[in-house]
Amino acid sequence: MNKYIEFYEKQDRENVYSAGMNPKEHKFNNVLTSVTKILNTNNPKVLEIGAGNGRFQDVFKDYTGIDVTENSRKYFHKKYAVIEDGKPYLFKDEEFDLVFTNAVFEHIPDINTALKEMIRVTKKKGGNCV
């Protein structure tokens, strides 16, 4: 296991690393709820990059979270996938209405690939990245 993944596997995502589980107590929740008002669908298909402890999974009905560590899966009752840094995401082109992340870019070693993948999986017509 590389040191990057090893670091994230050891994090206490509930109590320290991503403290808190209630999305309404997080400032980013206001951004997410305001963005959903401008989408061209009542039920956006949403992807969260670096989903951590799944705090935002219940903000959206059709939600998928991805992260680099298997140990986060225990926080999810919605779709969750483990990805490898620098590798393509396991989704079709233009699959999501909304792709978002919060406080994650500084943790991605291959940010260029991650950004290209975020754009690739976001719908071009009416899609959004936050």
CATH no. for residue 111?
Answer: 3.40.50.150
DSSP letter assigned to residue 71: G
> pLDDT band at 110, cuts 50/70/90?
confident
Burial of 10 (0-12, 13-18, 19+ CB in 10 A): exposed
Rg of the chain over all Cα atoms, to the nearest angstrom: 14
pLDDT for the residue numbered 24:
72
Number of domains in the chain: 1
Q: Is the pTM of this model over 0.85?
A: no
What lies within 8 Å, CB to CB, of 130 at 6+ separation is 31, 32, 35, 98, 99, 100, 101
Domain ranges, residue 63:
3-129
Tell which residue, 113, 125, 123, 115, has the closest CA to residue 46.
123
